[in-house]
Amino acid sequence: MKTLYLVRHAKSDWSEENKVDLDRGLSKRGSKDLKSMGSYLLKKKIKPDLILSSPALRAKLTTKKISKKIKYDKDIKYIDKLYMPDTETILDILSDQKDKNKSIFLVNHNPALTDLANMLTDENIDNIPTLGIVAIKFDIKKWKDIKETKGKMDLFIYPKLLK
């Protein structure tokens, strides 16, 4: 059994219009939402074996704050190909992960995350909101098999549900 957590980065800061997309940080709301979502994950004892993240600043900040809150003390892999990827690229990256990792957090962007959630399950999600988390359980032993199977959605949570 493998579990994939699709984690959309927290709300980004658009206050500087000329800022390069890759370098946009988090808004005040994004930082506030990280506290409540991190507390939820900690309370539910959700901690992955591995975190993969986009190298965009907003994704890095999301990853660092969540990992600190849940006391994740392993390496985080920031992968350049995860910046605005298509679903095939994400699946290729996931299928290359070590099978000892039973659960993976993938911190990324839309529309790819919503597309991936819909591709990997029989659910239909219109949109994973900022800092939304979708957990998908797969009846597989090897990550390479993720391309050949559908999983079952186990969780879909986002900040507004916690208010």
Domains in the chain, start-ordered, CATH in brackets?
2-10+26-162 (3.40.50.1240)
Summarize the confidence of residues 37-63 as an average pLDDT: 96
Cβ atoms within 10 A of the Cβ of 79, count?
Answer: 16
Summarize the confidence of residues 145-149 as an average pLDDT: 94
The residue that leads in pLDDT, 21 or 151, is 151
- CA–CA distance, 87 with 15 (Å, rounded to integer): 29
pLDDT score at 38: 94
Cβ atoms within 10 A of the Cβ of 157, count?
Answer: 17
The residue that leads in pLDDT, 20 or 63, is 63
Its pTM stands at 0.94
84-131 pLDDT, tens per residue? 999 999 999 999 999 999 999 999 999 999 999 999 999 999 999 999
Buried b (16+ CB within 10 A) or exposed e, 32-44: ebbeebbebbeee
The residue that leads in pLDDT, 21 or 40, is 40
pLDDT score at 15: 75
Half-sphere exposure of 36 (CA within 13 A, CB side): 15
Kindly report the backbone phi and psi dihedral angles of residue 64, in degrees, each rounded to the nearest multiple of 5, phi listed first: -65, -40
pLDDT score at 42: 95
